[in-house]
Amino acid sequence: MLDLEDLQTFVEVADAGGVSPAARRLGVSKSIVSRRLFRLEAELGIQLLARTTRGAALTEAGVTFREHAARVCAEMEAAREAILPSGELRGLLRIAAPLSFGPTHLAPVFAELARRHPLLHVHAYYSDRFVDIVGEGFDCAVRVGHLTDSNLIARRVVPFHGLLVASPEYIREHGAPETPDELLTHQALMQGTETWRLTDGDRAIGVHPQGRFKADNGSALVAAAVAGLGIASLPDFLVADHLASGALVAVMTRYPVPEAGIYVVRPPGQHPPRKILVLTELLIEHFG
């Protein structure tokens, strides 16, 4: 007889690409994960995973077995949910969220999710760095901005707009850029080496600005813009109060930043866990 817990562990290791990220996702030690894998392979009499220095790779048999195991686990999860009290959730939900936006705007939603579902463990991690949700064992992430192409499954919660902003002091000293080419002569406040997206009618424009001040946090870039260090491209919800007070002004409004959004992204898979669906609906309810 195959143990369901062993099957779930194997699927997690296969999807995460290694024992360590799967252990973090499952909330158990690496030795427990290894023990479950050994037990499953011994029961089947075949090697499912090839251990490497970079993690674990599926063998040919493992690729085939993973699809069947994932379906079994998904069906059992659906069966569990069907016999729980209406709307009840249980287990662990690990969420990656942005630091610039999460504690103020997302934390109340996560808390409400935990309040409504007392059997569900909600673990939220806040960082403005790019999080590999599969490799680091997260169930999902809330991301803000423009999504890059990936194999992750995304659902938009709500749209928002970005703005190019600067302080009145910066504009008095350096002037306000009027075109994308002029923008390249100004100090840009950036998270790294990102491309700024602008629009000219129906045409999309990519600009590669330069600047001496960088920070991996949106709130830090707001502070730098208010201090007069340069021009920043920021979401409207981060700069609305400063625009209202006059501490910041919008620039290059003839070339608006294209509409972005708040998204819930999850690892690929045919059957999303209901806890992610419930979180997404709660976010839509909150921001809608």
**Nearest-angstrom CA–CA distance, 266 and 58:** 21
Residue-wise pLDDT tens digits, 175-221: 999 999 999 999 999 988 788 999 999 899 999 999 999 998 888 99
How many residues in the chain?
Answer: 288
Residue-wise pLDDT tens digits, 214-232: 998 888 999 999 999 999 9
**Nearest-angstrom CA–CA distance, 98 and 102:** 5
The average pLDDT across 65-83 equals: 81
Q: What is the pLDDT of residue 7?
A: 93
Q: What is the pLDDT of residue 85?
A: 64
pLDDT-based confidence at residue 84 (cuts at 50, 70, 90): low
Sign of torsion over alpha carbons 218, 151, 20, 35: positive
Q: What is the pLDDT of residue 136?
A: 77
Asked if 33 and 19 count as a contact pair (C-beta separation under 8 A), the reply is: yes
272 has a pLDDT exceeding 90: no
Q: What is the pLDDT of residue 157?
A: 93
Burial of 97 (0-12, 13-18, 19+ CB in 10 A): buried
- CA 222 from chain centre, in angstroms, equals 21
Q: What is the pLDDT of residue 57?
A: 86
263 has a pLDDT exceeding 90: yes
173 has a pLDDT exceeding 70: yes
- When comparing pLDDT for 85 and 103, which is higher? 103
Q: Which phi and psi angles does 102 have, rounded to 5°? A: -65, -55
Q: What is the pLDDT of residue 86?
A: 64
Nearby residues of 227 by Cβ (< 8 Å), 6 or more positions away = 167
The average pLDDT across 237-245 equals: 94
Residue-wise pLDDT tens digits, 151-172: 788 999 999 889 999 999 999 9
Residue-wise pLDDT tens digits, 7-61: 999 998 988 888 888 888 788 899 999 999 999 999 999 999 997 777 788 999 9
Residue-wise pLDDT tens digits, 106-129: 999 999 999 999 989 999 999 988
Lowest mean pLDDT, pick from 2-11, 142-151, 261-270: 142-151
Asked if 212 and 237 count as a contact pair (C-beta separation under 8 A), the reply is: no
CA distances in angstroms from 76 to 6, 64, 73, 158, 228, listed in the order given = 13, 19, 5, 32, 57
Q: What is the pLDDT of residue 226?
A: 98
Lowest mean pLDDT, pick from 80-89, 131-140, 152-161: 80-89
Q: What is the pLDDT of residue 156?
A: 92
Determine the residue type at 111.
A
The average pLDDT across 91-119 equals: 92
Q: What is the pLDDT of residue 149?
A: 64
Q: Which phi and psi angles does 217 have, rounded to 5°? A: -140, 130
